[in-house]
A and B are shown apart, each in its own frame.
Chain A
Amino acid sequence: MNHLQKQKTGPVIHIVKRENLSVRRQWLIRGLALTGALLSGALLILALGHNPLAVYRDMLAGALGSPTVRRETVKIAVPLLITAIGVSLAFKMRFWNIGAEGQFLMGAVAAGCFAFFMYDRMPRPVLIFVMLVAGMAGGGIYGMIPAFFKAKWGTNETLFTLMLNYIALVLVQYLQNGPWKAPKSQFPKMPMLDDRARLSKILGVHWGWVMALVLVVLFYFYLTRTKQGYEIAVTGDSIHTARYAGIPINLVIIRTMFLSGALAGLAAVFQVAGSDYTITEGTAGGVGFTAITAAWMARLNPFGMLAASVFIAILERGSNKIQTTFKIPSSASEVLTGMILFFMLGCEFFMNYKLVNSRRRRENP
């Protein structure tokens, strides 16, 4: 009796798992989430006493308004995209690599060994090639360290990779204060790269952008069409299934983390040799973390990451512009990316579940 009464007053809304939502509806929900995030951002801008439309328009103009700023936007997007692809490999395996920042810096330092000290000992194409390989090796090996301990003892990789970020940063500080300090400089900073160690340009931007596009296609196929990609997916879905299927889990973890770190290191070479022409504490500048948001916004799809990276690059570039025009601090881009990702994470729920009026359901079973 009591039980029946309770059912009537029970929750009206019921959560039910939803199967196979059409692609169009998925994009509709994501579009709504993005709009929600931009509206929340608009509220914040409004609260600071500015006109949101004017601020957003200024952001777009600052990021896409002229060929010069468009080139700058692409320069931000390239390392971000390559790092995001790297991060996504680990995330697909449910290995929480938040150490891309450190892997990026180690890639930069490894490439710097050749770019700073060996630039006059080999022909230019060889030098660039060696720098790329060194960058990948530096980032890759740095990524393999936590993977080894994770595979062997199950050491918490989230904190391990994160702590390695700080250690890499301190290493760069050490190098710029001592051994690698520019000889004539009063400040602790490294010298500028020799012209021979700088990347050539295609359509006004270093050729890293072509490489990034190639990598998008390459890793789309790697993840969806190759044995190794399949092994990553299975290990991520269920470690038990992977073990049962005879997948060498430890090997997969270490190999994938090498690739993940290597991509971050590769991105660093493009940043150093194509954009900054030196190494500083700010060389990575948070790209390892932004890459995580880019990867997750795209639900780990390489083509989606291309769109997400360009979008975030527009935000970053645009917030530099609004800092000068409106005196709105440039950290606005981080706040906005955070908001967008919050909305994206929230909207997944509405793709996987639907809300059902439980009273109506009970009436017609």
Chain B
Amino acid sequence: MNTLLNLAAAAVLAGTPLLLGTLGEILTEKSGNINLGVEGMMFMGAIAGLSVPFFYEQLTLEAGASPSGTAGALMALAASFAAGAFGALIYGFLTITLHADQNVTGLTLTIFGTGLGNFFGEYLGYQAGGYAALGEELKSAFHNLSIPGLSQIPVLGKLLFQYNWMVYFAVILALAMNHFLRRTRLGLNLRAVGEDPAAADAAGINTTRYQYTAVIIGGGICGIGGMYMSMVTTSGVWVHNCVSGYGWLSVALVIFSVWNPARALLAAVIFGGLTVLRLYLPIPGMPIQIYEMLPYAVTILVLIASSIRQRRENMQPKSCGVNYFREER
């Protein structure tokens, strides 16, 4: 029982970056763009989210003051969003304005972002003389919270009320996005653009503006997911290749959550659980590689299962992968 409780809590923590990546990609795909650069944007967010607080800390310490954890966390949030959004802007400019192939552009963004993240990560290490790590004050801003009263409730307290702030941020974002896509005019317009840009255009919706906005904000959210990897998962230390596949898992999770932000919550916790299973349910004699293979193998199985039984309402937005070119209607 206690093991299961620990596993559930660890699954939520491990699933949060997946959730953020998935949410970013859902928003992007709802506008009819498949951005396979999630991994790259997460890397860009990871390094930006680590390096800005890092330099902030250096500067305040040099000035003889002590850095504030809250300020550092806000900077990490803003910087990682900006970095992810910047990656998405490159993607958007190439695909929306210049009609480049979405698949190849996204892949290139992944290569570019991975390179950029590791490049500046190593560079930061040289600057810090070894490896880049944050001080205690800034790191503690990303520690698990202890909410007086609530966190002490048996079982429920551990299950719901003792995570770091980013977990709650991601959950609220998922619920808000769910509301936005289903219940607001802007959200419905966005979905119309993703399903049939020509019809949306004819109805007077500015498709270009919707696509750019969705792609850029989506990329920013992916960037925040990357920041979770460098600030929480590796606790404020740059680890080479720290995002390692989480971006790609996020792209797959979009399919499992059938483009629904609320279902992404569940999908992210399940896959978060798969990535940490080895620590909580060890089976003697089983090679750890079997555990490490699990998230990827399960992804493949679910991909196959969902392709065998496809339903109309559970499909990708129809214009995904195809660039809309007004002059070619």
Contacts and interface: CB of A to CB of B under 8 A. Distances in A.
Give the residue among B90, B293, B327 with the most A Cβ atoms within 10 A: B293
Contacts of B255: 156, 159
Contacts of B107: 98, 289, 292
A171 B248 CA distance: 19
Contact of A293 (B111, B113, B293): B111
Nearest to A145: B300
Given A163-B297, A337-B112, 10 more contacts: A96-B103, A156-B255, A156-B303, A159-B248, A163-B252, A334-B112, A334-B114, A337-B111, A349-B98, A353-B99
B293 to A, nearest CB: 5
A341 B307 CA distance: 32
Given A289-B111, A334-B119, A338-B108, A167 B94 contact: no
A345 B328 CA distance: 20
A331 interface: yes
Contacts of B137: none
A289 B36 CA distance: 13
A341 B107 CA distance: 10
12 contacts: A96-B103, A98-B107, A177-B287, A289-B107, A296-B108, A333-B115, A334-B114, A334-B116, A334-B119, A341-B111, A342-B112, A345-B104
Contact of A167 (B99, B108, B297): B297
Interface string B289-307: 1001100110110011001
Give the residue among A173, A341, A349 with the most B Cβ atoms within 10 A: A341
Interface of B is mostly: helix
Contacts of B310: 154
Contacts of A17: 327-328
Contact of B126 (A164, A327, A337): A327
Contacts of B112: 334-335, 337-339, 341-342
A341 B300 contact: no
A153 interface: yes
Interface residues of A, number: 49
Interface string B242-281: 0001001001100100000000000000000000000000
Given A153-B304, A341-B108, A349-B98, A334 B289 contact: no
B118 interface: yes
Contact of B299 (A96, A159, A293, A353): A159
B78 interface: no
Interface in B34-77: 36
Interface in B196-230: none
A345 B101 contact: yes
A4 interface: no
Contacts of A96: 103
Interface of B: 36, 90, 93-94, 98-101, 103-105, 107-116, 118-119, 121-123, 126, 245, 248, 251-252, 255, 287, 289, 292-293, 296-297, 299-300, 303-304, 307-308, 310, 327-328
A158 B111 contact: no
B115 A335 contact: yes
A332 B119 contact: yes
Contacts of B292: 170, 173
Contact of A149 (B116, B297, B304): B304
Nearest to A290: B111
A117 to B, nearest CB: 20
Contacts, number: 135
B287 A346 contact: no
A160 interface: yes
B275 to A, nearest CB: 12
A51 interface: no
Contacts of B114: 334
A87 to B, nearest CB: 11
A194 interface: no
B94 A338 contact: no
A16 interface: yes
Contact of B94 (A170, A173, A345): A345
B183 to A, nearest CB: 29
A194 B182 CA distance: 64
B262 to A, nearest CB: 22
A160 B300 contact: yes
Contacts of A332: 115, 119
